């Protein structure tokens, strides 16, 4: 009688590992999104107030882009600190919160920022196109980009950031 042995995972594990490495090596170049030293990509989105806003509207000014969603606890946790930075740097840096409305209703995000008393500019990324361009289509959350007055990306924050990290980046930008 021919008895089959159970298929052992260790027999196929090398194949799985090989496919993972081959797949990773086949990733398209440039899929990491924007990086420090590159020119920031222009975009046009609608604000929470219904105005059409482009990044190029702030040409010559330093800009802080913060991509967020209400489902991201780190994003929500950082909003009060970003508001404090907005208040302390005033007109030296334009702070723009970009709500990923492709991932949740805009009303949910509006509720959070209203409760938190946010006064900086808030835009809606309804199709996740801007987020996709800046993240390279990867699920980086939170994601923040600091752009100097020449439109060059000077800092890219992936994941939670501390108050100290944000202030240090802003101070470096101010002394540039």
Render pLDDT for 70-101 as a digit per residue (tens, 0 to 9). Answer: 999 999 999 999 999 999 998 899 999 999 99
Q: Which tens digit of pLDDT belongs to each residue from 54-64?
A: 999 999 999 99
Please report the pLDDT score of residue 88 as a whole number. 92
CA distance 93 to 14: 51
- Centroid of chain to Cα 10: 39
Does residue 90 sit within a domain? yes
pTM for the model: 0.80
Domain hosting residue 66, numbered range:
34-175
Does residue 17 sit within a domain? no
The answer to whether the beta carbons of residues 68 and 99 sit under 8 Å apart is: yes
Q: What is the mean pLDDT of the chain?
A: 85
Does residue 21 sit within a domain? no
Check which CATH number belongs to the domain holding 64 and give it: 3.40.30.10
* pLDDT classification of 175: cutoffs 50, 70, 90: confident
Does residue 20 sit within a domain? no
Please report the pLDDT score of residue 176 as a whole number. 72
DSSP string, 9-51: HHHHHHHHHHHHHHHHHTSPTTTT---TTSBPPP-EEEETTS-
| Count of structural domains, the chain | 1
Given strand 153-158, what is the order of strands in its sheet? Answer: 52-54, 44-47, 121-124, 93-99, 62-68, 143-147, 153-158
Does residue 91 sit within a domain? yes
Please report the pLDDT score of residue 138 as a whole number. 84
Q: Which tens digit of pLDDT belongs to each residue from 7-48?
A: 554 555 454 443 333 333 333 344 457 889 999 999 999 999
Does residue 9 sit within a domain? no
Please report the pLDDT score of residue 5 as a whole number. 56
Please report the pLDDT score of residue 10 as a whole number. 52
Q: Which tens digit of pLDDT belongs to each residue from 113-168?
A: 999 999 999 999 999 999 999 998 888 899 999 999 999 999 999 999 999 999 89
Does residue 22 sit within a domain? no
Please report the pLDDT score of residue 174 as a whole number. 84
Does residue 125 sit within a domain? yes
Q: Does pLDDT of 111 surpass 60?
A: yes
């Amino acid at each position: 009688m021919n008895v089959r042995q159970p298929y052992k995972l260790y027999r196929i594990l090398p194949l799985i590992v090989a496919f993972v490495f081959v797949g990773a090596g086949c990733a398209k170049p440039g899929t990491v999104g924007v990086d420090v030293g590159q020119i920031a990509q222009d975009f046009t989105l609608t604000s929470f107030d219904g105005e059409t806003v482009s990044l190029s509207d702030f040409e010559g000014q330093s800009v802080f882009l913060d991509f967020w969603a209400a489902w991201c606890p780190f994003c929500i946790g950082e909003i009060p600190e970003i508001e404090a930075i907005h208040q302390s740097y005033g007109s030296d840096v334009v702070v723009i919160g970009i709500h990923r409305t492709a991932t949740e209703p805009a009303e949910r995000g509006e509720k959070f920022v209203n409760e938190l008393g946010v006064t900086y500019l808030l835009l809606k990324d309804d199709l996740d196109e801007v987020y996709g361009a800046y993240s390279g289509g990867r699920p980086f959350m939170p994601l923040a980009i600091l752009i100097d007055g020449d439109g060059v990306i000077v800092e890219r924050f992936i994941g939670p950031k501390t108050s100290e990290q944000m202030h240090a980046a802003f101070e470096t930008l101010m002394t540039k």
